[in-house]
Structure 1
């Protein structure tokens, strides 16, 4: 956001909800982001609302300057590398979906600021907006594969590791649902209450929605600095402060989790080196332990200095998809998980974020997120974990359930 902006105070109850519901009626494209005040190295998401009418064509996303907000779907990998996705999709999703925001609002507790004058009649409309009487956030969901099938796939992947075809693979399973009434805006606010995350986001592209409680940053660009923050390593929080501290130390000292994290950190270092000045790639923090609402996460942070005149397209082609959602080595592991998984990931495990008019950007990893098609009346979400040769299949299955816990509570109406 530019320094020259006007602040608009809204002293009304539920003004944030009213603003979003009003925006949903006015604009076919919107994105709401919040970092929930998390003390995240290099900062969490800012608190923004982006509004627009026009989807950008794909060449414009890569080549034209100016603000852009949107999603890079996981299956863009098939165009970056010689790959393919044969698994069935729950519904069609574009590999690249961005819009040009006409209004960029910075959200604060008692109002918002805007770099463009906000029409007075819009402020009146927001204040007088009538919220729905009932918020539909529940939806019956079903696993796409059984626990027995999951365990069989893990055994196959571990055999691939023994044969030297991969060292670590992020295998994902999916859950899907159908509905008559489901409210993505109410679902976002409810999910953010259940599990407020540093990269929470709500994204609308016509009838397609993303409701995200992501803990992970993919890439951030600040001037010439490129920042990657892969997550590998998860353990449950405890309501007992003593046990909670024990859990954090257990994760910090876990050789298994450190080995998983180190493999992905090295992969990301190599990816960043492809577009960075020689010798500039540095690990700023290795095996950082971060407390989130339900879990501790092990997060490493890598910085580099970009080579001159490197484009956004070149950065994405060098680093996407992110190693934390694939494994190592990346290409052979992607082929293995595409074969073993039973669904087309689509937007899941892709990236959501924005690019500003200076070319800086911030993108999260689309995990712990619900993806919905309001026209088809379908939704799905994916969840996965890193499989290594010594991974316990039962523990990996339980880790997936832990990661998806808040989404299950949301969709069950808890």
Structure 2
């Protein structure tokens, strides 16, 4: 509103009338006009001859209004300041990430007295070298600033082709050509990432780089990735090169071989004098060791040559061998000795076999039937002289008949011959004394 005050020397009424819908009032000597006086232009005022009427034009309503007043008024200096209003507030609102290369900005999502500032901060530019993606999978020269993969699936990519010049027009071929120069087994890694996206990328280990002058081919092995690229996508190529192999340690941890395969059990020898490389032993035959070095052994010098025949050998005093004589050079073979007497359990009629020598033939208690066990004739089974066989009838039932065929079975002490009967719970021992003569003794034997 516009505050008006009449000249103090002029007598004026308590109220002023206005036409055209204006309201004029006075409070404490201050005149107030409604609507806002800013709509009334003084330049269009038309005072009457007496100076008591003021005509003014309202451009909003396109109308003239007449104020009836007692005198003209002055614009006086402003009065004393009023009370302080409520303090304005500023609050931080949301923060978003803008595109790379744009300017930071702040906008007020609140009011003029309660501002809420929302900020947009541009992200930094992607690292690496920028190229434009080509959908062709042919490993040939891409267009200037172009890049292509040899497979549309990131997980199946084994080669990357890039133009020697990146999208900004800079020749980066000499730099890319160094990516496989590391002496380490793993040359390094390369990341192919879509601009502004962390969800579309492929990460690969570098195998080798081939420089084709205007373009380069990078042989790679897939490590991980996600998403897929579209034609003309801005793509960044980001290398992570591995440093060179460090110096070898003091002879530990780096032994290598001169062969890519081996046979289980082969002997490995040092190759050279560096102490780092091994080789497979390829010789055959007898070998000798001299000061830690293997070499072929010589017949007649390092060992005696083999002799023919099946006899036992003895040294002949001149570096060779000759046949040994039984009873002179060694004791003749005798019956096998046992620390125990092996068992042959039988629950039926049975005839001894050669393997029963030095065993006991056992009749178990579970079988109560009388059985016949036969000692065969020497012509059938030639048990060695001195063969001992034990018979055990471990039962309270049937007796065992120990039969003899054409040979002789002598009862010890009595001197009688023929087959014998072994009662229940009896035990007897038979010993072969000659080729056709056995002697038997025991408990429960008749």
Q: Which structure's residues are more often helix, by fraction?
A: 1
The structure, 1 or 2, with the larger RCO (C-alpha pairs under 8 Å, 6+ apart) is 1
Normalising by structure 2, we get a TM-score of 0.14
Q: Which structure's residues are more often strand, by fraction?
A: 2
Normalising by structure 1, we get a TM-score of 0.15
